């Protein structure tokens, strides 16, 4: 039904004396290598080669705007208008153990101590090379889709936020995490196996913030296991079969299934502020199923791999139909959202709340910040005002009930601290729609987005679409919670940078993109 090409290339970059990206911990500096990082590319084209879709999953924390722009520039110089911003999706797996320093906004430069040209070059060249390899290996092929439930691999790390969603909505789901894995199997016309893409919502944070070895965490280990099985006798990173385990709506989803405990006393700290009686929030950490973080990475990675293998072997539903894609640049700090006939709301200039500094049970912050803070702290606010300036009254009002710690949208020196202009993108491979989102949607946010996009397709001439969310795509804008979760102001809500109506804005935008390609 299609022309299909797959490719994999190394994108590891420097592994020593470079801050790692993910936990925002300046002390977490690379000092060696555990597993190499790879970019995995998949190209699907119509048989007449009139339309193409490229999906890339790279073993990096997230795709940055700088990376995307440089990749597209290189592709344009090589291939002209064949690969463009509308038909190339770049997604990060969200490993927290890869090198940082490949961003263009100031906030992300702070923990990475500025731009790292070697890191940026490795990511860009690795992604481009993986696309080159896929491009050179295009052949007639078939694509199959399957889906199934992954057990014992996730918990919701902000259950108190999730419980604020309407009971009528929660009752439609059996769990406070999305357990479904969606998988694409690719073979050539003779049945020769080419590769797979799996989307599953889990944070690759089995390796915690005490780790100093560059690696691709649990989902990277799943890729390793699948590729080693199919590329018999080959070293890791070699062989023609490519297995990508891509990110989805993982915002509030942790692989640390034992849950949060006080590391100093051993008691549970599963409370709304994730704090301990002695030592406060900095002592509250979630534990994985293993004896240590390496063992936990292996266990979770193996769980994901085994389910993918089962789905791969049983995949029989063929993907057919045309290819289409759409992309839009949006000023996310100024989107008007029509909630109903009488009410219109707006997004805000980017800002981070106090609970952003608290971190999560997967990687705690510093000082006395706690999750769930709906009031500021006079001490930190005064320091902020002196060093960075006070947030405007307009931004404060727009973000309520978030107490603003950093009004990043009003901070432009030496460069802007956060993006205003964001890419939204959607691509359809026959009956599968891939929503490329620029951040971390929580479980319920992702469910609402998928449902809204599916409804848009159903009401047009393309019903019965499968809809998946590809996370950490194109530019990083932190988290996207539901309006109800936002009111609680745990870490994910404090990191929803465009305010309480961020999700509504994205739903409106992606519905528009779905209409454009339906």
In a domain, 206, yes or no: yes
Q: Which domain holds residue 214?
A: 2-329+420-517
pLDDT digits (tens, 9 = 90+) for 126-148: 999 999 999 999 999 999 999 99
In a domain, 481, yes or no: yes
* pLDDT the model gives residue 143: 99
- pTM to 2 decimals? 0.98
In a domain, 357, yes or no: no
Please pick, among 254, 355, 445, 504, the residue that the annotation labels catalytic.
254
pLDDT digits (tens, 9 = 90+) for 397-455: 999 999 999 999 999 999 999 999 999 999 999 999 999 999 999 999 999 999 999 99
Mean pLDDT value of segment 201-215: 98
* pLDDT the model gives residue 367: 87
* pLDDT the model gives residue 286: 98
DSSP 187-202: EETT--EEEEEEE---
Question: Is 479 annotated as belonging to a binding site?
Answer: yes
Mean pLDDT value of segment 247-274: 98
* pLDDT the model gives residue 462: 81
Tell me the pLDDT band of 460, cut-offs 50, 70 and 90.
Answer: confident
In a domain, 334, yes or no: no
Domains held by the chain: number: 1
Residue 252 burial class via C-beta count within 10 angstroms: exposed 0-12, middle 13-18, buried 19 and up: buried
Contact between residue 222 and residue 305 where contact means Cβ atoms under 8 Å apart: yes
* pLDDT the model gives residue 467: 98
Question: Is 94 annotated as belonging to a binding site?
Answer: yes
Mean pLDDT value of segment 165-176: 99
* pLDDT the model gives residue 440: 99
In a domain, 168, yes or no: yes
In a domain, 353, yes or no: no
**Cα–Cα separations (whole angstroms), residue 273 to 250, 282, 359, 514:** 20, 11, 11, 38
Tell me the pLDDT band of 464, cut-offs 50, 70 and 90.
Answer: confident
The SS3 call for residue 29 is strand
- Residue whose token pair is 């534990």: 287
In a domain, 58, yes or no: yes
Question: Can you tell me the distance from the alpha carbon of 353 to that of 84, in angstroms, rounded to the nearest whole number?
Answer: 35
Task: Find how far residue 318's CA is from the centre of its chain.
Answer: 27
In a domain, 426, yes or no: yes
Q: In this structure, what are the phi and psi dihedrals at residue 85, rounded to the nearest 5 degrees?
A: -65, -20
Residue 317 burial class via C-beta count within 10 angstroms: exposed 0-12, middle 13-18, buried 19 and up: middle
CA trace torsion 53, 59, 60, 64 (10° rounding): -10
Question: Is 203 annotated as belonging to a binding site?
Answer: yes
Largest CA distance in the chain: 68
461 pLDDT above the threshold of 90: no
Question: Is 212 annotated as belonging to a binding site?
Answer: no
Residue 206 burial class via C-beta count within 10 angstroms: exposed 0-12, middle 13-18, buried 19 and up: buried
Q: At what angle do helices 502-517 and 443-458 cross, to 10 degrees?
A: 30
pLDDT digits (tens, 9 = 90+) for 475-510: 999 999 999 999 999 999 999 999 999 999 999 999
Q: Any catalytic annotation for residue 445?
A: no
b/e code 95-116 from CB counts within 10 Å (16+ = b): bbbbbbbbbbbbbbbebbeeeb
């Amino acid at each position: 039904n299609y022309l299909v090409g797959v490719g994999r290339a190394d994108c590891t970059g420097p592994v020593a004396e470079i801050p790692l990206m993910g936990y925002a911990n300046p002390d977490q500096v690379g000092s060696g290598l555990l597993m190499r990082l790879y970019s995995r590319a998949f190209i699907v084209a119509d048989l007449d080669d009139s339309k193409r879709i490229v999906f890339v999953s790279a073993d990096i924390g997230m795709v940055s705007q700088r990376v995307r722009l440089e990749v597209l520039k290189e592709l344009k110089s090589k291939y002209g208008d064949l690969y463009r911003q509308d038909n190339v999706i770049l997604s990060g797996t969200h490993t927290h153990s890869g090198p940082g320093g490949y961003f263009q906004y100031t906030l992300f430069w702070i923990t990475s101590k500025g731009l790292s040209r070697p890191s940026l070059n490795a990511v860009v060249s690795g992604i481009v090379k993986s696309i080159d390899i896929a491009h050179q290996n295009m052949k007639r092929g078939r694509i199959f889709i399957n889906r199934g439930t992954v057990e014992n691999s996730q918990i919701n790390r902000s259950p108190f936020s999730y419980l604020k969603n309407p009971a009528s909505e929660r009752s439609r789901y059996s769990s406070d995490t999305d357990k479904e894995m969606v998988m694409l199997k690719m073979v050539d016309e003779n049945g020769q196996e080419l590769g797979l893409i799996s989307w599953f919502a889990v944070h690759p944070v089995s390796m915690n913030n005490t780790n100093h070895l560059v690696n691709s965490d649990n989902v990277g280990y799943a890729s390793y296991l699948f590729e080693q099985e199919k590329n018999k006798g080959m070293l890791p990173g070699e062989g023609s079969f490519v297995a990508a385990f891509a990110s989805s709506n993982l915002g509030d989803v942790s692989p640390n299934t034992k849950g949060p405990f006080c590391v100093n006393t051993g008691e549970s700290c599963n409370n709304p502020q994730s704090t301990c009686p002695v030592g406060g929030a900095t002592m509250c950490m979630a534990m994985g199923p293993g004896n240590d973080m390496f063992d936990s990475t292996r266990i979770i990675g193996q769980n994901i791999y085994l389910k993918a293998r089962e789905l791969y072997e049983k995949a029989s539903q063929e993907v057919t139909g045309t290819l289409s894609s759409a992309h839009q640049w949006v000023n996310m700090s100024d989107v008007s959202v029509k909630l109903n006939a009488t009410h219109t709301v707006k997004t805000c200039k980017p800002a981070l709340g106090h609970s952003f500094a608290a971190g999560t049970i997967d990687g705690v912050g510093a000082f006395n910040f706690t999750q769930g803070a709906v009031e500021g702290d006079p001490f930190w606010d005064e320091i902020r005002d002196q060093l960075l300036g006070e947030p405007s009254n307009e931004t404060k009002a727009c973000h309520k009930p978030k107490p603003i710690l950093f009004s990043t949208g009003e901070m432009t020196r030496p460069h802007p601290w956060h993006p205003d202009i964001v890419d939204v993108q959607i691509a359809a491979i026959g009956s599968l729609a891939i929503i490329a989102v620029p951040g971390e949607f929580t479980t319920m946010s992702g469910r609402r987005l998928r449902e809204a996009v599916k409804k848009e397709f159903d009401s047009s001439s393309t019903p019965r679409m499968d809809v998946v969310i590809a996370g950490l795509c194109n530019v990083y804008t932190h988290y996207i919670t539901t309006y109800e979760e936002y009111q609680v102001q745990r870490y994910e809500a404090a990191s929803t940078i465009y305010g309480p109506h961020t999700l509504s804005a994205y739903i409106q935008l992606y519905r528009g993109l779905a209409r454009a390609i339906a």
